[in-house]
Amino acid sequence: MRRASAVRLFVAWALATGWFVAAAAPGSAAPIFSDGFESGNVSAWTKAVNFQAQQALVFSGAWAGRATTPGGSVAKAVKTLSSSQADIYLDARVHVVSAGGSTTVLLRLLTGGGSSLVSLDVLSSGRLRVRNHVSGTKATSATVIGFGSWYEAQLHASVNGSSSLIEVWLDGAKVNDLTLSPTNLGTTPVGRVQLGGSSSAFDAAFDDVVVDTAFIGGGGGPPPTPTNLRATGVTSTTVDLAWDPSSGATSYEVRRDGSLVGSPTTTSLHDSGLSSSTTYSYTVAACNSAGCSAPSEPLQVTTAASPAAPVLAAAGDIACDPADPNFNAGDGTASRCRQRYTAALLAGADVVMPLGDDQYECGGLQAFQQSYDPTWGAYKAITRPVVADAEYGTTGTDCGAAGADGYFSYFGDAAHGPGGYYSFDVGTWHVVVLNSVCNKVGGCGEGSPQNDWLEQDLAASAAPCTLAAFHHPRFASKSNGNFVSDRTLPFWEDLYAAGAEIVLNGNSHWYERFGPQDPMGNADPNGIVEFIVGTGGKSLGTIGSVRAPNSAAGSSGSFGVLKLTLRDGGYDWGFVPEGTSSFSDSGSASCH
């Protein structure tokens, strides 16, 4: 027998015998209100509008309440409590026969003055929704109830200003996606409870209604509060927690600085994405179908200081073909084949990125071994290469069959053949390497294998900062005035949508930096910064005297490399020129 039915029978017998006053035992106090429907009327309720006691639709006993309205007038029963409560539970068996409106109120908690605090509603789809009337916050559950069936619904509110709590149970199981915590219910306690309350056409029965200051149900209350919350591992960005198990717990709620960060079923949690040298406050509560315990004592954890930020060095258009008249046994000339001298600028880098056209004229394996390898190849162990059209060429030393065979053979697994596109993480950054020789990899546009992969990769990354590298720039200050190329527009659209910070390119044999912009070239503080670094050594071109919109810096008079220091939450950049050039470009920026 449910508690509500037992309470009604007990109260009736106790009043008749006089036992109630004399024999009430500690810990067995009656709830602060039960519905009184077994009297055959609704006299226990302070106010009832279009709400009657009836026997046609009953869950237990002989009578139940029923709210019925054809629409245009409200149907509800309201009880003013003998004393207002800051922490209260309202439990009822509910049977929705029909509902003509988009939203139908099932249970509501109000202040003593009649202002609504919390409502539990059912939508026309059958989904449950909870609403905080004070803050206007709503939460809709994936849980669906069927019209024409009985359900047990329990609504809990703890009124405590901005640290208030709202919880819902359905048939004894907590509906987690209807929990609002913390939420702001103000500071006025609950003084009234209400069944129904909609003015749209609806018909619903209510039975076994109980109001109390503790969880209502026969399965016991929440588990005890967990103990011995401790940190078992700490890095600059992660914290591992553990605690002793609580009897009867089926899950736990871990909060960081008051916000829920996990609901594990085990007694441990890995928390990631944190800031270095920062103190966080953790608590854990034990939960079961009756609810959650009070939170544990707070545990203060300070993350470690960040390790030194990694440095990425990049340039494209690098090594001359050994058959080039300017190769000069690797020494080059004053204006061509400067790969040996730009390689000397890579010292101190943690990651080296050749940005395509890494080896002229065709990326043949022998050419790589004779020209690239003695220079930039000294950093092969830390190299993350980019493929470009020179690698697919067919004219030059030891050319393959137009499949970039020499490139993929030389770099091996680091080249990620045959597509040449891949991603990796360095520090707290996510780096995406793409193949802009689109006709060699099934296209670059929407629906192509590479574009599909890119979208999936970006969606899966949780890194706070993102950099992409591919050979052909979308924007460049060409002397012919053709500033924009649509070849890599699909890449830009996906990267911009994902909030990427940087794009690195080569192809144009100069250095150029663009201010943040969207894929269409509009200045945008949340846009992508493009760097063209086609200054790796092969030769220099001529940047246009008329610059493309948003071009912020550039020079076609210096070989060199770009060095990026990839910090947590931002980056520093600096173009390092080769030789005696006085050109420089440097600065700092934050991630989006």
pLDDT tens-digit series, residues 86-105: 999 999 999 999 998 889 99
pLDDT for the residue numbered 215: 87
Distance CA 412, CA 124 (A): 59
Report the share of the chain in percent with pLDDT over 90. 83
| Residue tagged 């959650």 (tokens) | 292
**325-361 burial code (b ≥16 CB/10 A, e <16):** ebbeeeebeeebbbbbbbbebbeebebbbbbbbbbbb
Determine the average pLDDT of the residues in 433-458: 97
- pTM of the prediction? 0.54
In contact, 529 and 494? CB cutoff 8 Å: no
Positive or negative, the CA dihedral 348, 350, 354, 355 is negative
Look up residue 353 and give its two tokens: 């990125």
pLDDT for the residue numbered 101: 86
The pLDDT confidence band at residue 566, using thresholds 50, 70 and 90, is: very high
Q: Which helix (H) or strand (E) holds 10?
A: helix 3-17
pLDDT for the residue numbered 198: 86
Least confident of 72-81, 171-180, 543-552: 171-180
Positive or negative, the CA dihedral 52, 57, 63, 65 is negative
The set of residues, in sequence order, having a beta carbon less than 8 Å from that of 315 and lying 6+ positions away, is 342, 354, 355, 506, 533, 534, 535, 536, 537, 560, 561, 562
In contact, 256 and 280? CB cutoff 8 Å: yes
Determine the average pLDDT of the residues in 191-210: 94
The set of residues, in sequence order, having a beta carbon less than 8 Å from that of 410 and lying 6+ positions away, is 359, 365, 368, 369, 372, 373
In contact, 231 and 301? CB cutoff 8 Å: yes
> In a 3-state reduction of DSSP, which class is residue 265?
coil
pLDDT tens digits, 105-130: 999 999 999 999 999 999 999 999 99
Q: Is the pLDDT of residue 16 over 70?
A: no
Residue 412 has what DSSP assignment?
G
CATH domain 311-590 topology: Purple Acid Phosphatase; chain A, domain 2 (3.60.21)
Distance CA 229, CA 591 (A): 34
> In a 3-state reduction of DSSP, which class is residue 339?
helix
pLDDT tens digits, 302-339: 999 888 899 999 999 999 999 999 999 999 999 999 99
Residue 281 has what DSSP assignment?
E
Query: Is the preceding omega at residue 501 within 30 degrees of 0, hence cis?
Result: no
CATH domain 230-302 topology: Immunoglobulin-like (2.60.40)
Across the strands, what pairs with 240?
Answer: 233, 270
Q: Which of 68-82, 171-185, 387-401, 496-510 shows the highest mean pLDDT?
A: 496-510
**Residue ranges matching CATH 3.60.21.10 in the chain:** 311-590
The pLDDT confidence band at residue 11, using thresholds 50, 70 and 90, is: very low
Average pLDDT of every residue of the chain: 92
pLDDT for the residue numbered 29: 59
Query: Is the preceding omega at residue 182 within 30 degrees of 0, hence cis?
Result: yes
Determine the average pLDDT of the residues in 375-400: 95
Determine the average pLDDT of the residues in 26-48: 85
Tell how strand 422-426 and strand 173-174 pair up.
unpaired
**Residue ranges matching CATH 2.60.120.200 in the chain:** 31-212
In contact, 293 and 225? CB cutoff 8 Å: yes
> In a 3-state reduction of DSSP, which class is residue 423?
strand
pLDDT for the residue numbered 400: 78
Q: Which helix (H) or strand (E) holds 141?
A: strand 138-144
| More confident of the two residues 354 and 23 | 354
Distance CA 59, CA 209 (A): 11
Residue 403 has what DSSP assignment?
S
Report the share of the chain in percent with pLDDT over 70. 94
Determine the average pLDDT of the residues in 68-95: 94
Q: Which helix (H) or strand (E) holds 110?
A: strand 103-111
In contact, 507 and 576? CB cutoff 8 Å: no
Look up residue 302 and give its two tokens: 């300070």
In contact, 376 and 318? CB cutoff 8 Å: yes
DSSP calls for 65-97? EEEEE-SSS--EEEEEEEEEESEEEEEEEEEEE
CATH code for the domain defined by 31-212: 2.60.120.200
Tell how strand 251-256 and strand 259-262 pair up.
antiparallel
The pLDDT confidence band at residue 515, using thresholds 50, 70 and 90, is: very high
Look up residue 333 and give its two tokens: 């000339």
Q: Is the pLDDT of residue 27 over 90?
A: no
**What is the three-state SS of 431-498?**
EEECCCCHHHCCCCCCCCHHHHHHHHHHHHCCCCEEEEECCCCCECCCCCCCCECCCCHHHHHHHHHC
Distance CA 386, CA 415 (A): 8
**Residue ranges matching CATH 2.60.40.10 in the chain:** 230-302
Determine the average pLDDT of the residues in 65-91: 94
Best CA proximity match to 92, nearest among 181, 19, 171, 191: 171
In contact, 75 and 98? CB cutoff 8 Å: no
Q: Is the pLDDT of residue 342 over 50?
A: yes
Distance CA 533, CA 554 (A): 10
Distance CA 11, CA 25 (A): 14
Q: Is the pLDDT of residue 510 over 90?
A: yes
The pLDDT confidence band at residue 294, using thresholds 50, 70 and 90, is: confident
Distance CA 56, CA 360 (A): 89
pLDDT for the residue numbered 15: 39
CB atoms within 10 A of CB 271: 19
Q: Is the pLDDT of residue 279 over 60?
A: yes
pLDDT for the residue numbered 28: 41
Best CA proximity match to 440, nearest among 413, 465, 470: 470
> In a 3-state reduction of DSSP, which class is residue 586?
strand
Best CA proximity match to 158, nearest among 109, 197, 225, 99: 109
